Structure 1
Amino acid sequence: MDPALLKAREAFKKKAFATPVIEAKRPVTSNQESGKESNKKPRKSAPAPVAEKTFDFKKYKPSSNANFACLAKIVKYMKQRYLDGDNEPLTLEDMLDETNQLDLAPRQRQWLATEALKNNPKVDITEDGQKYFYKPTFPLKDKKSLLRLLDKYDQRGQGGIPLEDIQESLPNADRCIKALGEAIIMLTRPTDKKKILYYNDRSIQFKVDDEFQKFWRTAAVDGLDDAKIEEYLEKHGITSMKDVGGKNSTPMQKRKKPTSKKPRNFKKHNEHMGDILQDYNG
């Protein structure tokens, strides 16, 4: 190659490198701008610090089912202690310990101490208000106290006592009832099928003829009042029942007060001595 051309080429390169070059900015179209914005990813904000939640016992309200389940467990335990012959008063903490309920919330403990146990008819409280014990329906200790109670109900005309009330009040109730034997009567109430205990008063027992019992059972008196029964007896010549019912007392008639007041005539005394008596006032 010609050496003159090579020198000219090298001189052109040096001149080209020495001359500064300014590049013109191209106008950005709207399509290009939208594309760039879409490619940009949104910045994630820093997560806010999570505050630790504190448990407020004052705002804690346990469900009513949990409350009453706890109360029922305590009452059942106290009743069983009484029926086993142990009715020593216990504190609330002792009862919760015996029933495995020491994990109760403070609000539940307060509800038991201030409302539930004090208002429960099966639980009584000591005079200092610190201990509780079981309160039976009837204060029964043995079969003699049960017989006296049934006798009192019979004399006052109060009828019988449900068996379940006796079983909740008397330790070994079934054994005591069996030991009393014919001294008491147990009947089943037809309305709710509950068993009722009555006192068997042997002093008023008498024997009734079988023939009279047949007539008594065949006589239908449903829907008849005393007046109709009395009328039926009179038709058949039976008048001995008249004096059994209460007598109709006639009301007393009040005296009529005089409409006009008349002057009252007073009786004069010593009229036959009118000629002898003299007046000394003058």
Structure 2
Amino acid sequence: MSNLAASAKLGPGNKRLAPPSPSPSNASNASRTDGTPSKRQKRDGVAAASVRDIRGASPTPTPAAMAAANTSYGNDMLTHLSYAVDFLKSKGAPKTLQEILDHLSLQHTPESQQQQFAALMRKHPRMQFTPAPRPKDGSKDKQQQLSWKLGKYEFRPKIPGVKSKVSLLEHLQAKTDASALAVKDLKDGWPDCDQAIDELEAEHRILVVRTRKENHAKFIWIDDPRLAHRVDPEFKAMWHRVEVPGVDDIVRKLTAVGQKPASEDPRLKKIETAATKQKPKRRGNRGSKPQQNVHMSHLLQDYSGHRKG
């Protein structure tokens, strides 16, 4: 006996009653008779499909992730370049590519990245590359394959080749203009040049402009020791003992003699300007003048008496 027949009951008047409707919980769990999945089945199916897609996805990165990785690698490479410049500047001697990579902890990076880093160092304006000498045995193929690993790199200062008093004087004599040489540019390749500057200044070989507070050398020019003459200390003392009259006395004495001073007393100018500011400018009273439009007199005549009756 089927479930439908067992669930059917006879009511009053021998009428067959309809089977009871399924509960909402049973209806949600059971699948539809027409073959379409329910909402819960759809939700479960979508979740299972998304999990399968995630598990079965390939581990290859997306193009956006690859582009971001390349960008970060480029930024890191620029940072390593600045560190390499500082390393060569501090050492003051030529270094090989392997020594630079070991200092930057880049010896385990891929060979393609090392080759790209070496190409950027050769084009850097603060680095000077010296290629390796050619081999005598004639093995050119091997040298061409490893040419990016050979050679040495050296720091290139703003003023190259100046690291002694002789080279400094030669550089100043070779200048074609009267511009000053900044000491900060000189220290870029010769950090401990202060003592040499002091000695050359004492020998009247260079002219030095110093700061007021620290008395540090700021700018230097070439000088000629033949133009330096020693002045007797007694004469210097006599010179400083001479009293120079004040500005008021100089102006008064020149005016009394009938001469015009080269510069007027600035205090008198201030007094005059203050007096002119205090006096307000008077505006002249403009009288009202009669305005006559002579050229329009024929238009203003009264022609009312010429009307036709």
Q: TM-score, normalised by structure 1?
A: 0.50
Partners of 1:89 and 1:170 lie apart in 2 by 18
| Residues 150 and 160 in structure 1, CA contact (< 8 A), matched pair in contact too | no
User: RCO greater where, 1 or 2, for CA within 8 Å and sep 6 or more?
Assistant: 1
In structure 1, C-alpha distance between the alignment counterparts of 2:222 and 2:166, rounded to whole Å: 12
CA distance in structure 1 between the aligned counterparts of 2:100 and 2:2, rounded to whole angstroms: 98
Q: How does 1:185-196 map to 2 (within 5 A)?
A: 185-187=207-209, 195-196=218-219
Return 5+ residue gaps in structure 1 as ranges. 1-19, 211-217, 219-282
Tell me what 1:38 maps to: 28
The alpha carbon displacement at 1:133 in A equals: 1.9
> Within 5 A, what are the aligned runs for 1:126-141?
126-128=130-132, 130-131=150-151, 132-136=153-157, 137-141=159-163
**Superposed displacement of residue 134, structure 1:** 1.9
Match of 1:117 in 2: 121
- Kindly name which structure, 1 or 2, has the bigger radius of gyration based on alpha carbons: 1
Decide which of 225, 247, 253 is 1:202's aligned counterpart.
Answer: 225
Q: Is the 8 A contact 2:208 2:221 kept in 1?
A: yes
Q: 1:21 to 1:120 in 2, by over 3 A?
A: closer
Contact 2:88 2:95 in 1 (8 A): no
The answer to whether the Cα contact below 8 Å between 2:163 and 2:190 also exists between their aligned partners in 1 is yes
Matched position secondary structure for 1:79: helix
- Secondary structure at 2:118's aligned position in 1? helix
Q: 183, 192, 201: which one pairs with 1:181?
A: 201
Tell me which protein shows more helix as a share of its residues. Answer: 2
Distance in 2 between the 1:135 and 1:100 partners? Answer: 23
1:196 is aligned with what amino acid?
A: F
Q: Counterparts of 1:139 and 1:169 in 2: how far apart (Å)? A: 8
Contact in 2 for aligned 1:62/1:108 (Cα 8 Å): no
Equivalence for 2:88: 78
- Is the 8 Å Cα contact of residues 74 and 95 (structure 1) preserved in structure 2? yes
Calculate the TM-score normalised by the size of structure 2: 0.47
How far did 1:205 drift? 5.3
Aligned residues: 186
Unaligned 5+ runs, structure 2: 9-17, 31-39, 133-147, 231-238, 240-246, 248-309
Deviation string 1:237-266 (CA, Å, 9 cap, x unpaired) is xxxxxxxxxxxxxxxxxxxxxxxxxxxxxx
Contact 1:67 1:108 (C-alpha < 8 Å) held by counterparts = no
> Partner residue of 1:24?
6
Q: 1:51 to 1:159 in 2, by over 3 A?
A: same
Please say if 1:151 is aligned against 2:151: no
CA shift for structure 1 position 197:
2.0
Q: Does residue 1:88 correspond to 2:90, yes or no?
A: no
Deviation of residue 111 (structure 1)?
Answer: 3.7
For residue 303 of structure 2, what is the aligned residue in structure 1?
none
- In the aligned structure 2, how far is the partner of 1:21 from the partner of 1:158? 118
Deviations 1:84-111 (A, max 9, x none): xxx23412x3202023344556665344
1:10 aligns with none
Secondary structure of 1:70's aligned partner: helix
Q: Which residue of 1 aligns with 2:244?
A: none
- SS of the aligned residue for 1:62 comes to helix
Report the CA distance shift for 1:179/1:194 in structure 2 as closer, same or farther (over 3 A): closer
Q: CA–CA distance in 1 between the matches of 2:85 and 2:166?
A: 27
Letter in 1 for 2:27: E
Query: How many Å apart are 1:179 and its aligned residue?
Result: 3.1
Q: Is the 8 A contact 2:162 2:189 kept in 1?
A: yes
For the 8 Å contact 1:61–1:107, the answer to whether it is kept is: no
Aligned-pair CA distance for 1:171: 5.6
* 1:165 matches 2:171: no
Once the two structures are TM-superposed, the CA of residue 168 in structure 1 deviates from its matched residue by 1.8
**Residue 6 of structure 2: SS of its match in structure 1?**
coil
Mapped to 1, the partners of 2:111 and 2:84 lie a distance apart of 17
1:62 is matched with which residue? 71
